[in-house]
Structure 1
Amino acid sequence: MVRVLAVSDEVVDSLQHGVVDELAPDLIIGAGDLPFEYLEKLMIRFEAPCVFVPGNHDRDLSGFKRTRRGWMQAGLPTTDPGPQGAVNADGRIVTVAGVRVAGLGGCIRYNSGPNQYREATQRQRANRLALQRFRYRLTPGAGGVDILLTHSPARGIGDAEDGPHRGFRCFLPLIYRLRPQLMVHGHIHPHGQPPMDHTILHRKRRPGASLRSSTISMNTVGYSVFDIEPGSGPVEVLRRRHGS
């Protein structure tokens, strides 16, 4: 069982002053739109690794690459562009603290800012992400991806109707292909009201196949603490705080 602290969009000062110390998370995941210094402080405070994806208010991290010689940009040495020591899962499948995370950052394009994508572009990114399961020989369901980490929700599942906060339609086919236990996103501010978690039913199972039948979509604006058993089992939410 792995204990996860998921954060997004709103800095919660009490997290830095002992509010969840007794819960002792093994992993921190960031769903975007948080100061990188905040994620660094959480990593230090809880002595836990961090996996994140960028939100639409975060710095553009494209063009940076980590090599054996360190971080590079346009062929030149540079410093870590994200939270120091954290793992950027945007467009990747990574395993940290025993949890396999597939990540897609950004939101629907609504202006010329960073980390915004048209539906067609995000669909291409989602397709490339889904294909990575073959590289790692992952089986959807048990033994496959545990968490799909995004900044934006899926269209029609916990999103909003205004332009900047509409979700991506391509996330549903991605969920059907990866079949994660949990989808964690931010971006939609509930303004102090606890948002409803959504159960996404998968397409019909193949005869004889052992696959998960559903994925829980969780809005983690503020923070959420939950236990997850990698590869199987339900997710148990221990504590949440949504909106200021």
Structure 2
Amino acid sequence: MVSVLAVSDETIETLWSTQVRSLDVDLVLGAGDLPFEYLEYLTDALNAPCVFVPGNHDADLTGYSAGRVGWMRAGLPSAWPGPVGAVNADRTIVSAAGLRIAGLGGSIRYNDGPNQWTQRQQRRRARSLTRTESWKRTVRGDLRGVDVLLTHSPPFGVGDDTDPAHVGFECLDDVVRSLQPQLLLHGHIHPHGQTPEDLELHGTTVLNTVGYTLLEIEPGGRAAENVPTIVRRRHGT
């Protein structure tokens, strides 16, 4: 069982303090729109790896790659603007603390800010996730399931809102069908201190993790016996 601290959108005072060290956490998952310093602090204080996707209020992290001599962008040395030591899972599938995590960051496009996409653009971006998984299963014979789909925005019609900035992504329906993760963790939709309803999409549990959610996940992808356990949660202010 892997203990996971999932966070997004709103900093929690007790987590950004020495009190967080009382938590026994194996992995930090960031669903976007948090200060990168906050993710760095959680990683250091908990001595746990961090996997994240960017939100629509985060810096533009596209085009960066880590090389032998440091970070590069457009073939030139560049300073990495993201959280130090954390793994950006946007448009890829990564392994951390025994879990496989697929990531898709950003929100629906509603102005000229970074990490915003039209439905068509996000659909194209999402194909890299399903193609990567299909290649691993077909070519490499890797039959391990995806444990977590980590997104900033929720699926369209499943935990999203109706205003132009908070409509969910239609393509996540196909991504969930293809990857069949145990969990879809998202942020972006502020519940204003209330506990939003936990939802389901094609057998995958969909959780809004604005604020934080502490949960336990059994590795191995979606299976009848793999039911994530929510230990504690706080949904913002």
Is the 1:143–1:230 Cα contact (8 Å) retained in structure 2? no
Deviation at residue 69 of structure 1 after TM alignment: 2.5
Out of 185, 196, 221, the position equivalent to 2:210 is 221
Separation in structure 2 between the aligned mates of residue 243 and residue 54 of structure 1, nearest angstrom: 19
CA contact (8 A) 2:12 2:236 kept: no
CA contact (8 A) 2:90 2:105 kept: yes
Q: CA deviation at 1:66?
A: 1.3
Instruction: Give the secondary-structure state (helix, strand or coil) at the position aligned to 1:240.
Output: strand
In structure 2, how many angstroms separate the alpha carbons of the residues matched to 1:19 and 1:236?
22
Structure-1-length-normalised TM-score: 0.91
Any residues of structure 2 matched to 1:47-58 within 5 Å, and which?
47-58=47-58
Amino acid at match of 1:36: F
1:82-123 CA distance string (max 9 Å, x none): 100000000000001111000000000000100000000100
* TM-score normalised according to structure 2 size: 0.93
Deviations 1:166-190 (A, max 9, x none): 0001101110000000000000000
Q: CA deviation at 1:18?
A: 4.8
Structure 2 unaligned blocks of 5 or more: none
Partner of 2:162: 161
The letter for the 2-side match of 1:169 is E
Report the equivalent of 1:234.
227
Residue 182 of structure 2 contacts residue 205 of structure 2 at CA under 8 Å; is this kept in 1? yes
Matched position secondary structure for 2:165: helix
AA matched with 1:221: V
1:173 aligns with 2:174: yes
Aligned to 2:26: 26
Matched residues, number: 230
Q: Work out whether 1:14 is the aligned partner of 2:23.
A: no
Task: Work out whether residues 16 and 45 of structure 1, in 8 Å CA contact, stay in contact via their aligned partners in 2.
Answer: no
The one-letter code matched in structure 1 to 2:235 is: H
When the two chains are superposed, the root-mean-square deviation of aligned CA atoms in Å is 1.5
- Comparing 2-11 with 64-73, greater Cα deviation is found at 64-73
Q: Any runs of at least 4 consecutive aligned residues in structure 1 with deviations exceeding 6 A, and if so which?
A: none
- Give the deviation of 1:22 after TM superposition: 3.6
Counterpart of 1:230 in structure 2: which amino acid? P
Output the CA distance in 2 between the equivalents of 1:78 and 1:126. 27
1:149 aligned partner, one-letter code: L
Give the AA of the match of 2:107: C
Q: Deviations 1:140-159 (Å, cap 9, x if unpaired)?
A: xx721100000000000000
**Residue 239 of structure 1 aligns to which amino acid in structure 2?**
R
Post-superposition shift, 1:25?
0.8
- Residue type of the alignment partner of 1:183: L
Partners of 2:212 and 2:184 lie apart in 1 by: 14
Which residue is equivalent to 1:211? none
Q: Partner of 1:227: helix, strand, or coil?
A: strand
Identity %: 56
C-alpha distance in structure 2 between counterparts of 1:62 and 1:237, whole Å:
32
* Superposition map of 1:19-98 within 5 A: 19-98=19-98
Structure 1 CA distance, aligned partners of 2:62 and 2:205?
A: 29
CA–CA distance in structure 2, aligned partners of residues 133 and 126 of structure 1: 11
Shift of the alpha carbon at 1:19?
A: 4.7
C-alpha contact 1:12 1:222 (8 A) present in aligned 2: yes
Could you tell me which runs of 5 or more consecutive residues in structure 1 were left unpaired when the two chains were aligned.
202-213
Equivalent pair of 2:18/2:45 in contact (CA under 8 Å): no
Question: Contact 2:23–2:46 at 8 Å: present in 1 too?
Answer: no
